[in-house]
Amino acid sequence: MMISLSHDRVRLLRLRAQRLVPQFRDSLSDTAHLVKELCGIQAQDARAARLALRARSGGLVEADIERARVQERTIIRTWGQRSTLHLLAIEDMGWLLPLFGPVFIAGDQRRRAELGLDEDTCARGIRAIRDALADQGPLTRAELVEQLAVRGIRLEGQARPHLLGRAALEGVICFGPDRGAEPTYVLLSDWAAPGHALPEEAAYAELVRRYLDAYSPARPEDMAAWSGLPISKIRAAWQRVTYQLMEVEIDGSAAWMLKSHAAWLDEPPITDQLVCLLPAFDIYLLGYRDRDLALSRQDAKRVNAGGGMLHPTLLLNGRVAGIWKSQRKKNQLDVTVEPFDQLTPDVYPGLEAEVADIARFLEAQASLQVVSH
């Protein structure tokens, strides 16, 4: 008999899968392992990506994440799911790039053409990028654009990120060390060795397992929205791993979990307030076709800042209950939380603990202000 899940139970299971349950996150302190388990962290905002890992780990500080990216090079910042910037485990790049690259390059062809980037220009531009980085090492975007101009490739406006994104999806470049506040680009082949490739069917099956490990219970349509990959191929891969899956019911329709997570269904409900301060663009809100279970439609406009921007959010037992922001001056971090409704007294201990943990992570002193409207 199929198990029917309440909304509260679905949220708890997803928090568990997202490593946002305290007793689970306290055991996670290896950056590369965590990035791999979550199958990537949204990273168009690099600081937000680091804070997303803070919310899912125990003991990490911000410097640990940059060390894993720049010195150890076990994680990488590059174009991933939905052709957006992500932190990904370098050992996964050998099979993820062949999945993402062709789909997103083909999907962006019309926009590139509008920007003057026909196939010949892209090919010449990527050769010039390769030559410039081979000759001069890490370069900022402005420096790289200048070097392209020297080599006869002149880029204006949005043509610049579109060509760089294509070069990354072809496996030519990735982000390198920051130069002050400015990121640089490097040749992927110089930066790190991607892991082993997989045949396409095996790669899709692996991605289904990884997705469900971090986002279940979920449906193929959720994974398609999360990944940006074709729903037809996701459904086919879902069928290939069905022997590893268990079916549950949410609002009268089927969803799936890994059988290896079956014991989670027997865990008692959370009795204390589970408080999380999630950063902008957090994957908890980006992992599904819609956000209705986590975010009420009446509050969605307060979280969505427009242009695909998502504010940092206050999460109470898996539901968005407010937004927050922070301002840092030297060693002082001022955190302001704006709840949608008045917070009950039992929320404050968890909220104060989250602010203290952000301060620990950033190696700063923090203050908390709650602003009611």
Q: Which residue bears the tokens 């950056």?
A: 31
| Angstrom distance (rounded) from CA 3 to CA 333 | 45
The answer to whether residues 328 and 345 touch, using CB atoms and an 8 Å cutoff, is no
> Could you tell me if residue 304 is inside a domain?
yes
Angle between helices 348-362 and 46-54 (to 10 degrees): 120
| The model's pTM | 0.94
pLDDT digits (tens, 9 = 90+) for 7-43: 999 999 999 999 999 876 655 679 999 999 999 999 9
Residue-level pLDDT at 309 = 80
> Could you tell me if residue 115 is inside a domain?
yes
pLDDT digits (tens, 9 = 90+) for 274-303: 999 999 999 999 999 999 999 998 999 899
| Angstrom distance (rounded) from CA 78 to CA 122 | 18
Q: Which tokens sit at 272?
A: 């204390």
The full DSSP string for 39-96 is T-EE-SSHHHHHHHHHTT-SS--HHHHHIIIIIS--EEEEE-GGG-EEEEEGGGHHHH
> Could you tell me if residue 129 is inside a domain?
yes
> Could you tell me if residue 22 is inside a domain?
no
CB count within 10 Å of CB 94 equals 16
**% of the chain with per-residue pLDDT over 90:** 89
> Could you tell me if residue 230 is inside a domain?
no
Instruction: Indicate the pLDDT class of residue 171, thresholds 50, 70 and 90.
Output: very high
Domain tally, the chain = 2
Q: Which residues of 131-146 are buried (b: 16+ CB within 10 A; e: fewer)?
A: ebbeeeebbbeebbbe
Q: Are residues 40 and 142 in the same domain?
A: yes
- DSSP label at 267? S
Q: Are residues 187 and 282 in the same domain?
A: no
Q: Which domain holds residue 362?
A: 275-370
Secondary structure E strands in the chain: 3-5, 41-42, 75-79, 85-89, 173-175, 185-187, 245-250, 253-258, 275-278, 304-306, 309-310, 313-316, 319-329, 332-339, 365-370
Q: Are residues 312 and 180 in the same domain?
A: no
Residue 254, φ and ψ in degrees, nearest 5: -80, 145
> Could you tell me if residue 35 is inside a domain?
yes
